[in-house]
Amino acid sequence: MLAGCGAAARQAPSYASAGNAICTEQATQLAGLRQPATVEQAVVYLPPALAIMRRETARLGALDTTGSGRAKLTAALASTRALTALLARLLRELRHGMVEFGELAAVQSQTTALRARVDARFRQADLPGCVE
């Protein structure tokens, strides 16, 4: 009887394997999008990219983890949400022609810093598959 219980437990994906699988799927989806080289291309790229990011965040947030693991995942997801919010704001501003060249450089710098924070927090949450 105990062997049966152990086998059932092994069949359920662990937090790490499930989380890494979610991130691998998201990375594959993002890689399938044409990377923008112009403002016009960014306006086309960002909506599906943001949808993928939001879906990943929701799926990761639903993972079954407890204690310090939950706190670490929550911190990683908070950083991911901050990055998504920054990109969503950029999209709104691009659509309304409110972004100047200098602002794009500032957003790029903020995006790079947030991406580094996201990566560090996913490493802390034991989800290396979520690191770029």
- Global pTM reads 0.83
User: Domain for residue 4, yes or no?
Assistant: no
Assigned domain for 88 exists: yes
pLDDT for 13: 63
In a domain, 2, yes or no: no
Tokens of 84: 């998504």
Is residue 7 one of the residues assigned to a domain? no
Number of domains in the chain: 1
| 8 found inside a domain | no
Which residues lie below 8 Å from residue 110, measured CB to CB, with a gap of 6+?
A: 86
Mean pLDDT of successive 10-residue stretches along the chain, which has 132 residues: 42 79 96 90 95 97 86 95 95 85 82 95 94 90
Question: What is the pLDDT at residue 64?
Answer: 86
Alpha-carbon distance 91 to 122, whole Å? 25
Q: Note the pLDDT of residue 71.
A: 92
Expressed as residue numbers, the domain containing 76 is 15-130
Residue 67 buriedness (CB in 10 A; 0-12 / 13-18 / 19+): exposed
Q: Considering the domain boundaries, does residue 46 fall inside one?
A: yes
**Residue 5, domain member (yes or no):** no
96, part of any domain: yes
The stretches of 2-129 forming alpha helices (DSSP H) are 2-11, 15-31, 39-61, 67-95, 101-124
